[in-house]
Amino acid sequence: MLVQGIKSRPEYKGLSIDPHAKRHLFVLEGEGAAALANQVELKGRDFLAQSEILYLAAGAAPKAYDITLTALSPDIFWQAPTLQPLLFRLRACLEQARMGTRLYIAGTEGFIGQVMQLALEFGIDFNSIHTEHRGSTARRVQCVHCKGITDNVTTSPFACTHCGLPLLVRDHYSRRLGAFQGVNIDAEEPGTAPPPEEMFP
Amino acid sequence: MSLNTDMPVRVADVTQVTDLVKRFRFERLDGHPMPFFSGGAHVVVSMNDNGLLRRNPYSLMSNPDDNSAYEISVLRVPNSRGGSIFMHKQVKPGDQLIVSQPVNLFAPDHRGRKHILFAGGIGITPFIAMMEQFSRDNIAFELHYAIRSRAHGAYWQQLLDRYGPRRIKIYVDEEKTTIPVAEIADNQPLGTHLYVCGPAGMIDGVLMTALKAGWPKENLHSERFLAPPAGLPFQVFLEKSNIHMTVGEHQSILEAAEAHGCDAPYLCRGGACGQCETAVSSCDGTLEHNDIYLSDEEKASGKKIMICVSRFKGQQLVLQL
């Protein structure tokens, strides 16, 4: 069960190297590494000398994309163990960055949302950030009741990991929070929630 | 139909700023305060020039916090359509004029962490109000202002006195100093926004340089008021109003419609805002699109026209107006 057709649902238009940018900052998660590899196949290797890659292997660790990315020999390649140090490093990169820097994000929606959230703090217009959705379609969802955020939600409804309410996942997305909105599905008659349906593999 | 927002005002003061620039101060006739506006906003001033209605947009340059009056500055442009000449020669303190509600098509992007303003000549006016606002809100900004000569340049000394030489940089043609746009664009922190207002060539040059320096287009802002270009007279039929009219050499379709009593919607009268977009019913000839609002595809489709600046060449144009 899903509520669709909501305008705030983000669109991920795919990475496309901006030929005018002086510096390219790639923030990639798991399968997102392949989005950059595809760009190299399409556009050649020239831009790699002006590129910095921050990579988080996450669930795709067995595929060893870090070796693929290192082999591209970008100006800087840095791999994070978990999301938090990646965001910490990203913050430092953005503090130093100039207007000629373009940001490219690829990975799961939850990852893109959290990287985007940080980028927006730096006054970057979201329209100028390139994004590509790769890997799992699992969602990051905020419970609109207790405000707790649950990562990697694959079903709707699902039980909020903070307050336990069964939540209907809507396409209603908050760029500020980097999360979809989950709304209690059986508020009128508690206990009547339909069984969870696998929606975001 | 233009939201019925006109405000009758009295000219409270006229100040000669330079030999070609005059500043006008408007107060409401009914004694009420003016509506607050935001930096970058303009008003359309309606003038009755011997029975001929002239309407020109002018940027508001007074302090946005001051709702006792509005101030505009007008550059006298010889060989122009006559609005600026009328303001300079005819308008005296105590006269009555009509001004529209403020409209802002050049507002600062408040998500920005720093704002860089490029002004050429009379293009300084929207920035004067914008800087008041940045200064009040403690927002980082710098102004790069190009003038022909120190004698002809308006307000440069006042701005230097007010904000200091770190934020205000003056460049003078006569002294062979020019704005180093490429150097400035090259070294700005992420989250900077750029604004340019001035002659068309300057606007194009600044925007092109910034794009080449790798700036995303979302951070580039410009305001150009296009005066309706002159051209050969042509015939237009306004379908809904059932008016056959001739658009004169120095007239826009919008002005001709107004002269025939058709109250068409408008906001900027400069081809930028999209308010006067009008559907074309039939067109036996060629539309001459002069606006910067419609996309290239829309212009090519021939189904829409911005009647404030665009013209027509051919037999008959029928508009849904």
Q: Place A93 in a pLDDT band, splitting at 50, 70 and 90.
A: very high
Q: Considering only the beta carbons, identify the residue of B111, B186, B213 that sits closest to A123.
A: B111
pLDDT, tens digit, 9 for 90 and up, residues B86-113:
999 999 999 999 999 999 999 999 999 9
Closest Cβ opposite residue B213 in set A100, A120, A124? A100
Q: CA of B60: how far to CAs of A143, B163, B188, in Å?
A: 46, 19, 28
Q: How far is A168 from chain B (nearest CA, A)?
A: 32
In whole numbers, what is the pLDDT of chain B averaged over residues? 93
Same domain, A41 and A77: yes
Tell me the torsion sign for CA atoms A151, A152, A156, A162. Answer: negative
Question: Who contacts B320 (Cβ-Cβ below 8 Å, separation ≥6)?
Answer: B239, B240, B278, B279, B280, B281
Q: What is the pLDDT of residue B250?
A: 85
Contact at CB, A128 and B219, closer than 8 angstroms: yes
**Which of A83, A110, A133 represents a domain boundary (last residue)?**
A133
Residue A1 pLDDT > 80, yes or no? Answer: no
Task: Please answer whether residues A101 and A125 qualify as being in contact, where contact means their C-beta atoms are separated by less than 8 angstroms.
Answer: no
Would the pTM count as exceeding 0.80?
Answer: yes
Say whether both A116 and A170 belong to one domain. no
In a domain, A4, yes or no: no
Is A122 inside a domain boundary? Answer: yes
Distance from CA of B292 to the nearest CA of A (A): 21
For B189, the closest of A23, A98, A128 (CB atoms) is A98
Q: What is the ipTM of this complex?
A: 0.88
Same domain, A33 and A96: yes
Record: contact B190-A100, CB cut-off 8 A: no
Residue A156 shares a structural domain with residue A112? no
Q: Are residues A105 and A129 part of one domain?
A: yes
Distance from CA of A160 to the nearest CA of B (A): 33
Which residues on A lie below 8 Å from B215 (Cβ)? 99-100
A144 & A109 share domain: no
The pLDDT tens digits of the residues spanning A49-74 come to 999 999 999 989 899 999 999 999 99
Provide the 3-class DSSP secondary structure of residue A96.
helix
Classified as helix, coil or strand, B303 is: coil
Which residue in the set A18, A98, A127 is minimally distant from B190, CB to CB? Answer: A98
In angstroms, the separation between the Cα of residue B161 and the nearest Cα of chain A is: 30
Q: Which residues of B touch A (CB under 8 A)?
A: 109, 111-113, 185-193, 210-219
CB pair distance less than 8 Å for B215 and A94: no
**pLDDT at residue number B81:** 80
Looking at the fold, whether A27 and A54 belong to one and the same domain comes out as yes
Q: Are residues A45 and A73 in the same domain?
A: yes
**Domain of A63: which CATH number?**
3.40.50.80
Q: Is residue A9 part of a domain?
A: no
Q: Are residues A157 and A123 in the same domain?
A: no
Show me where the domains of chain B are located: 7-99, 114-223, 234-319
CATH of B114-223, one of 3.40.50.80, 3.30.750.24, 3.30.1490.20, 2.60.40.1220: 3.40.50.80
Q: What angle do CA A125, B306, B287 make, to 5 degrees?
A: 120
| CATH level 3 topology of B234-319 | Ubiquitin-like (UB roll) (3.10.20)
Same domain, A99 and A191: no
Task: Give the count of domains, chain A.
Answer: 2
Range A138-158 average pLDDT: 96
**Residues in chain A within 8 Å Cβ distance of B216:** 18, 102, 125, 127-128
Does the pLDDT at position A123 exceed 80? yes
CA nearest B99: which of B6, B36, B3?
B6
Distance (Å, whole) CA B309 – CA B255: 10
Residue A92 burial class via C-beta count within 10 angstroms: exposed 0-12, middle 13-18, buried 19 and up: exposed
Q: Which residues of B touch A125 (CB under 8 A)?
A: 109, 111, 216, 218-219
CB half-sphere exposure, A76, CA atoms < 13 A? 13
Q: Specify whether domain B7-99 bears CATH 3.40.50.2300.
A: no
What's the mean per-residue pLDDT of chain A?
95
For B1-27, the pLDDT digits (tens) are 445 578 999 999 999 999 999 999 999
**For B241-260, how does the pLDDT look when each residue is reduced to its tens digit (9 = 90+)?**
999 999 998 889 999 999 99
Show the domain range for A82.
23-133
